[in-house]
Amino acid sequence: MPALPVITGKLAFGALRIMGRSGNALPGLIVERVFPRYFAKALSRLPHGVIVVSGTNGKTTTTKMIATMLAKKHRVVTNDTGSNFVRGAIGALVQQSSWGGRLDGDVAVFELDEAHAVKFVEKYAPQHVLLLNVSRDQLDRFGEIDYTASLLAKVAKAATASVTLNSDDERLAALAGELQVPVHWFALSEPMQQLFPTDEELYDEVETQPVREGADAVLQQYDAASGHTVIDFAGDVRQLTLRTTGAHNAQNATAAAVATMRVGLSVDEVCAGLEEVEPAFGRGQSYRIAGRDVTMHLVKNPAGFRQSLQAGLAESPDRACIIINDADADGRDMSWLWDVQFDALREAGIPVTTGGVRAADMAVRLKYSGVDVGSAVSELESVVDAAVQATPAGGRLTVFASYTAMWGLYRHLDAQHEGAL
């Protein structure tokens, strides 16, 4: 019987391909419902266990970083499609198993939505947990920030070998005293902390915290133009060049390094692996279209939008396009857009257009920040095509897109891509 869940899942994947669709969620859901014990049994066979990555922002890129580093020494199972529910993890297990049910893997790395991470650990206690941050997210799904923190606390308490925490996140740091396994830390130098204000710091409620002593890795420097990054591994200072863009991804790299070392990688192996990681889909991914460079950044909550603006504007674009939808995966409540500071976009002085279901709402929000919007068009492909044509030949267009908008544009942009940048 061990092969039956895998056969069922693989047939579901085949049916999806015949219908011209993709994704791990549906096959994973079918296996989860029909074979509820398959998941834990399959994971228990992995000799190096499971790493769970969760938090409000940075899960997909950090998971890709960890998987890339580990793949140098191990066979890695990961939900690299971004399907961060339990069913996505099950789908990844099915895909990497033979038809006979044999799982071709040594270690698993799963990114999990905060709520679904709790469901995951109820089914299987992971060996290692990495928690990145807690900030206000989709209010209609998670409610207030303290509730999100309580979800992540449950995930951390389920770890059986180690937990890696962000020492600059007060809510996550507070979990350390409640845990029964070793806690490891990633941190920012004081100059870098200025780029990552917490929700409280944005409203002047608290001051920046001092750098935690004894952190396993501290992000000391990051240069947006070159990707030059300096990380201090407890006195072993390393310089590397990241292909992923933005200071937030340098922080993600620091977190990924600490978590990966829990599975036996050396500092040398970690740094070499980090330099090979390409941007995850929609997280600074670039295209060459009609002689213009087009870069797409995911936006989904105030902190994430703020970080994406920093990264996107550091590219010195000639034009920007913001595309916002309000499907379930985006969050129906878009009031969070009013918590995003758009001063940097106004100061950049570049033309801006908006698109998506909430194109008009986004335009109104920008108007209140003094950003002139040239047009607001709901249809995704039309707004991007128009923005590309309006960008000077040889110039750069930066697109900020919500989750479903990002996926809605994927095939359209990929079809027009003229080759590697």
Question: What confidence tens digit (pLDDT) does each residue in 5-32 have?
Answer: 899 988 988 887 888 776 667 888 899 8
Q: Which two tokens stand for residue 137?
A: 């997210």
CB atoms within 10 A of CB 351: 17
More confident residue, 142 or 105: 105
Return phi, psi of residue 237, to 5°. -85, 125
Q: Which two tokens stand for residue 223?
A: 């240069």
- Cα 361 from Cα 368, distance rounded (Å): 11
Listed ranges 190-199, 249-258, 275-284; the one with the highest mean pLDDT: 249-258
Residue count of the chain: 421
- Cα 270 from Cα 258, distance rounded (Å): 9
**Residue 47 near residue 74, CB atoms below 8 Å:** no
pLDDT of residue 209: 60
pLDDT of residue 25: 75
Domain ranges of the chain: 4-274, 283-416
The answer as to CATH 3.40.1190.10 being correct for domain 4-274 is yes
Beta strands in 223-360 (DSSP E): 228-233, 236-241, 283-289, 292-298, 319-323, 352-355
Which residue is associated with the tokens 């990844």? 92
Percentage above 70 pLDDT, the chain: 91
- Cα 207 from Cα 331, distance rounded (Å): 30
In the predicted structure, residue 287 carries a pLDDT above the cut 60: yes
143-147, 284-288, 394-398: the lowest-pLDDT one? 143-147
pLDDT of residue 418: 76
- For 283-416, CATH gives 3.90.190.20
In the predicted structure, residue 420 carries a pLDDT above the cut 50: no
Of 250, 240, 268, residue with least CA distance to 189: 250
**Residue 111 near residue 82, CB atoms below 8 Å:** yes
More confident residue, 3 or 135: 3
pLDDT, mean of residues 142-150:
77
Listed ranges 80-89, 94-103, 230-239, 398-407; the one with the highest mean pLDDT: 230-239
Q: Which two tokens stand for residue 168?
A: 């600059």
**Residue 185 near residue 167, CB atoms below 8 Å:** yes
138-142, 312-316, 390-394: the lowest-pLDDT one? 138-142
CA dihedral 352→357→360→364, nearest 10 degrees, is -80
pLDDT of residue 380: 86
Sign of the four-CA dihedral 83, 85, 89, 95 = negative
pLDDT, mean of residues 160-167:
97
What is the rounded average pLDDT for all residues in the chain? 88
In the predicted structure, residue 261 carries a pLDDT above the cut 80: yes
Of 322, 188, 323, residue with least CA distance to 247: 188
181-233: per-residue pLDDT in tens?
999 999 999 999 888 876 666 555 555 566 677 899 999 999 988 889 999 99
pLDDT of residue 362: 93
- Cα 343 from Cα 115, distance rounded (Å): 32
Given 333, 343, 372, 414, which residue is catalytic? Answer: 333
pLDDT of residue 47: 94
In the predicted structure, residue 142 carries a pLDDT above the cut 70: no
Q: Note if the pTM is more than 0.85.
A: no
Q: Does the active-site annotation cover 330?
A: no
- Cα 49 from Cα 158, distance rounded (Å): 14
pLDDT of residue 336: 86
For residue 205, give Cα distances in angstroms to 173, 175, 208, 211: 18, 21, 10, 19
Given pLDDT bands bounded at 50, 70 and 90, which one contains residue 129?
very high
Given pLDDT bands bounded at 50, 70 and 90, which one contains residue 419?
low
